[in-house]
Structure 1
Amino acid sequence: MEKIIHRDIVVIGGGIIGAAIAYYCSKAGLDITVIEKGELASGTSSRCDGNILAIDKNPGFDSQMSLKSQQLIHELTNELEIPFEYRNPGSILVCETDEEMEAANKWVQQQIEAGLDFRTLDREDLKNETKYFADDLLGGLECKTDATVNPYMLTFSLFYSAQKLGAKIHTKTEVTHLQKENNGQFKIETTNGVFTANKVINAAGIWAPFIGEMVNVKIPITPRKGHIIVASRQNPVGLRKIQEFGYLLSKFGGERQVDETTKKYGVALVFEPTASQNFLIGSSRQFNGYDTKVDWDVVRCMARRAVRFFPKIADMTVIRTYTGLRPWTEDHFPIVSHVDEVPNFYVAAGHEGDGISLAAITGKVIQEMLTDEETSIPIEPLRYDRFKERVIQ
C-alpha cells in the first residue's frame, strides 16, 4: 500500500514567495512543508532583478504595502543567518520631457502625502548622481527607502532559516493531482509520493492557475515575459537603481512618446548595479505564453533605450541575457487570499514584477491569516474574489 505522509500546512512553490511563507510560518511555530517541482528559486525568482521598491508603486495602498515590505526586509538582515547582499541606497526615476517632469512632481507630492520619503530632482541633481547620464535629461525623482537584494540569496536564506525552525522542504516533487477529500483534508499526489494536508497554499507563481484548476479554482494570472541584459561594469556608471519615468507608463499601460518598436515590446530603461560589480539592464513586457526564449530584437531595443539615457555605456561588454515570466494580474495587485469555495485553500501569487519587493509582506500576511491575527496591511485589495465582482462589458 502506498505510503501517505500527512502534513498540517503544505505550500506549493519553492520560489521567493514560498520561501517567505515558510520562514514567517515556521517562525510562528506552524508545521510547514514546501513542495517544489524543480530546485528552489529555479523559476521566476532566479530570472529577475532584486529590487525592494516603492518608487514605482501607485501612491496609497500599493506604496504602503511596499513600504511595509521594505521594513520587514530590513529586519530580516538581522534575523537571517545567510547574508543576501542587502543594500539600501534608494532609487531614482529620470524624466525626458516637460510633461514627465510635471507628472513626476505630482507623483512626488502624492507619495509625500502618503507618508513616503520622496523628493524631486533637477538637472544638477542628475549631474551629481552620475556623469554617464545624457546631457538633455531634465530631472526626476528619488525614493530614499528603496533597497536591493540578491534574489537567489534571499530565497535560499529564508529557506535555510525556515528549515532550522522546523519547515520541511521537498524539491523535485511536482504536484500532479490535488483534491479536497470528504474528511476536509487535501490529498496531494506528486512525482515523489502522496501527501495529505489540512491546509494548502498555492504559491506557484506563473503556474498557480494549473494548481487552482485541480480544485476547480480559476486563478486569473497570465505570464508576462521580460528580458534582462547583464553587462560588465568597467566603470562606475551608477551606484543605485535608475529607471526612466516612462517605466511607470509601460507598467500600468499609459501612453508614451516613444517609437513603435519600443512601445510594442514595452521597453523602458531599468538600470541596476549588482554587488558583483556588473549591472543589469531592463526592461521589456510581452504576453508570449510560457515562451522563455531570448528575442534578440527585444534585446537590441533595450540596448538602444539604455544608450539613450547612458550614451557612454555603448561600448561596455554584455555578459549574457536571459528572460523571466512575471505572474501578471489585470489590476497589478497580487492575490494573497483564502478561497471561499475551497475552505483552507489559499493563494499567494500574481505579484508580476514585484515578487521580490513584496515577498516579505506576503509571507507575513499569510502567517497572520493562518494564525488568525490582525494582518499587517489591509487585505481587502488582495482578495481572490475581487475578480468575480467585475462585470465584463
Structure 2
Amino acid sequence: MSTPLRVVVVGAGIVGAATARALVRAGCDVTVVDRGPTAGGTSAGGEGNLLVSDKEPGSELRLAQRSLAAWARIEDELREELPAGFPGLELERKGGLVVATTEAGAKALRTFADTQRRAGVLAETVDDARAHELEPDLTPHSTAAVFYPEDLQVQPVAATEALLAAARRHGARVHQGVEVTGPVLSAGRLVGVQVVSGTLPADAVVIAAGPWSGLVAERLGVPLPVRPRRGTVLVTSRMPVRVRHKVYDADYVGAVGSGSADLQVSSVVESTAGGTVLIGSSRERRGFDERIEARVLAALAAKALLLFPFLADAQAMRAYGGFRPFVPDHLPVIGADPRLPGLWHATGHEGAGIGLSLATAELLRDQLLDGAADPLAAEFRLDRPTLLPHLEGAAR
C-alpha cells in the first residue's frame, strides 16, 4: 500500500477549506494551518456571493460556472459527510438583479449581458414592470435591468466551517494560531514548512492564505504579487424583507475589474437570512489598514439610496471590513510554482473567493495528484503572460 501524499495547506479560509476537503477525500494526508482562527480573514469579511453576473466571458467566468455546478451538489454531499444537526450553509438561490441608473450605464449593461449570454450565462433583460415585480421597492428611475437567476448567496463563515468539518471527518488536521515562518528545503525542493513550534514535513505545500499569500510566499523564498484590497460593508438593523435578490448598480462590474488603488464605491444591496440588509461595496488598496472610515460609509449609503430610496429611514447597526487578495491581472493563481518544486498556490481570487472556492479546489487537486492537463487550469498558471511582468516586479 502506497504512503499517502502529505500536504500542508496554509490558510483556513474557504479556499483553504475547500482545498483541504478535496485533497483528503482523494486520499492525501492533509494538515491545515492558519496564523489566526478558522474563517477569520477574508471569508469572514465578505457577503458570501456566488456570482456569474459580474464576470465577463473568459477564464474566470468558466471557473465560476464550474464552481456553481459544484455548489449545486455541495449541500447533499455535506449532508452525507457531516453529523445530523450540523449547521446549514444558508445557501440561497435568490438570483441577482443588475440595474443601470443612467443611459450610458443602460447601454453598457445591455452589451455586457449580450456577451455573457453567448458564453452560456442566463441573463434576462427585464422591463420596468418586471424589474419592480422582482423588487417592488426598487427606484423608479432605473434605465435598464438584467436578471441573473444563477446568482447565489451563502453564509461564508458557515460554509467555511462546514468544509473544514468535512475535511476533519475524512482525517485532515486543522491547527489554528500556527504561523508559517520559513521553508524546509532539500535539494532545491520544498519539503515542509517551519512554524514556531518546529517543522511540518510535506510533499506539497499549498498557499491559500488570501491577501496574506504574498507574505507567506516571501517567507518561503519566492515573490508573489498578491496584495490586500480593502472592502467595507454597512449592515442595517433587522427589518421585514424588502430586498428579495442581490441587487447592484451596473457600475459594480467596472469597479471589480479596475486596478486602481484609489477608493471606488458601487452599490450592492441584499438581505440576509437573519433580516439585515448588507450594503456594499468599496474597493481600495491601502495595505493592511483596518480602519473603517466615515467617508467610505457615507459613500456606501449614498449609492444604496440610488437603488432603494426606502433605505433612507433604515438604521445602520454596524459596519465591517476585510481584505481581498488582489492580483494585478484580476485572475486567481491556481497550480504549481515552477520556481520552487513542492510549492502550490490557490489564491488571488479578490472578492470572488467564496464562489470560486470549490472549482479552485478541484483544479488544484487534479493537477497535484494526476498532473491533469485541464485547459482551464492553464489560464491560472503563475507564469501566465499577463502576470509574468508583475511577478518579476514583485522580486524587486
Q: Which residue of 2 aligns with 1:75?
A: 73
The DSSP-based 3-state class of the residue aligned with 1:173 is coil
Letter in 1 for 2:37: E
Listed as ranges, the matches of 1:143-154 within 5 Å are 143-154=148-159
1:79, 1:375 → 2: CA distance?
Answer: 26
1:389 to partner: Cα distance: 5.4
Q: Which residue of 2 aligns with 1:258?
A: none
Moved over 6 A (4+): none
2:29 pairs, out of 25, 28, 31, with 31
1:71, 1:51 → 2: CA distance?
Answer: 15
1:185 to partner: Cα distance: 4.9
Query: Do the aligned partners of 1:365 and 1:375 also contact (CA within 8 Å) in 2?
Result: no
Q: Which residue of 2 aligns with 1:93?
A: 98
Query: Do the aligned partners of 1:335 and 1:350 also contact (CA within 8 Å) in 2?
Result: yes
Measured at CA, do residues 363 and 298 of structure 1 come closer, stay the same or move farther in structure 2, by a change above 3 Å?
Answer: same
Which shows bigger deviation, 283-292 or 191-200?
A: 191-200
1:254 to partner: Cα distance: 9.5
1:46 pairs, out of 41, 44, 47, with 44
Q: Which residue of 2 aligns with 1:304?
A: 302
Cα deviations by residue, 1:238-277 (Å, 9 ceiling, x for unpaired): 111111001111222399xxxxxxx952010011211111
Measured at CA, do residues 333 and 264 of structure 1 come closer, stay the same or move farther in structure 2, by a change above 3 Å?
Answer: closer
Letter in 1 for 2:377: I
Measured at CA, do residues 193 and 371 of structure 1 come closer, stay the same or move farther in structure 2, by a change above 3 Å?
Answer: same
Letter in 1 for 2:10: I
Q: Which residue of 1 aligns with 2:222?
A: 217
Letter in 1 for 2:112: W
Query: Do the aligned partners of 1:223 and 1:289 also contact (CA within 8 Å) in 2?
Result: yes
1:372 pairs, out of 370, 373, 383, with 370
Query: Do the aligned partners of 1:233 and 1:316 also contact (CA within 8 Å) in 2?
Result: no
2:315 pairs, out of 292, 317, 325, with 317
1:196 pairs, out of 168, 191, 201, with 201
Q: Which residue of 2 aligns with 1:21?
A: 19
2:36, 2:345 → 1: CA distance?
Answer: 20
The DSSP-based 3-state class of the residue aligned with 1:270 is strand
2:127, 2:60 → 1: CA distance?
Answer: 26
1:298, 1:365 → 2: CA distance?
Answer: 37
Q: Percent identity?
A: 30
The DSSP-based 3-state class of the residue aligned with 2:331 is coil
2:26, 2:313 → 1: CA distance?
Answer: 51
1:224, 1:184 → 2: CA distance?
Answer: 31
2:126, 2:240 → 1: CA distance?
Answer: 24
Q: Which runs of 5+ in 1 are unaligned?
A: 1-5, 256-262
1:11, 1:328 → 2: CA distance?
Answer: 20
1:210 to partner: Cα distance: 1.4
Q: Which residue of 2 aligns with 1:118?
A: 123
1:171 pairs, out of 163, 169, 176, with 176
1:183, 1:286 → 2: CA distance?
Answer: 38
- TM-score, normalised on structure 2? 0.91
1:103 to partner: Cα distance: 1.6
Query: Do the aligned partners of 1:104 and 1:120 also contact (CA within 8 Å) in 2?
Result: no
1:182 to partner: Cα distance: 2.9
1:59 pairs, out of 49, 57, 60, with 57
Query: Do the aligned partners of 1:327 and 1:349 also contact (CA within 8 Å) in 2?
Result: yes
The DSSP-based 3-state class of the residue aligned with 2:376 is coil
Q: Which residue of 1 aligns with 2:138?
A: 133
The DSSP-based 3-state class of the residue aligned with 1:102 is helix
Query: Do the aligned partners of 2:110 and 2:125 also contact (CA within 8 Å) in 1?
Result: yes
1:302 to partner: Cα distance: 0.6
Query: Do the aligned partners of 2:235 and 2:279 also contact (CA within 8 Å) in 1?
Result: yes
1:7 to partner: Cα distance: 7.7
The DSSP-based 3-state class of the residue aligned with 1:110 is helix
1:126, 1:183 → 2: CA distance?
Answer: 59
1:106, 1:265 → 2: CA distance?
Answer: 26
Q: Is residue 103 of structure 1 aligned with residue 108 of structure 2? A: yes
How many residues end up aligned between the 2 structures?
380
Listed as ranges, the matches of 1:262-341 within 5 Å are 265-341=263-339
Q: Which runs of 5+ in 2 are unaligned?
A: none
Letter in 1 for 2:49: N
Measured at CA, do residues 328 and 183 of structure 1 come closer, stay the same or move farther in structure 2, by a change above 3 Å?
Answer: closer
2:288, 2:91 → 1: CA distance?
Answer: 31
1:342, 1:185 → 2: CA distance?
Answer: 7
1:375 to partner: Cα distance: 6.2
Cα deviations by residue, 1:3-28 (Å, 9 ceiling, x for unpaired): xxx98110111111110001111111
Pairwise CA RMSD: 2.0
Letter in 1 for 2:301: A
Which shows bigger deviation, 329-338 or 214-223?
A: 214-223
1:9 pairs, out of 7, 10, 27, with 7
1:264, 1:182 → 2: CA distance?
Answer: 44
Query: Do the aligned partners of 1:229 and 1:299 also contact (CA within 8 Å) in 2?
Result: yes
1:233, 1:141 → 2: CA distance?
Answer: 27
2:355, 2:375 → 1: CA distance?
Answer: 15
1:192 to partner: Cα distance: 3.4
Query: Do the aligned partners of 1:111 and 1:118 also contact (CA within 8 Å) in 2?
Result: yes
1:207 to partner: Cα distance: 1.1
Query: Do the aligned partners of 2:240 and 2:275 also contact (CA within 8 Å) in 1?
Result: no
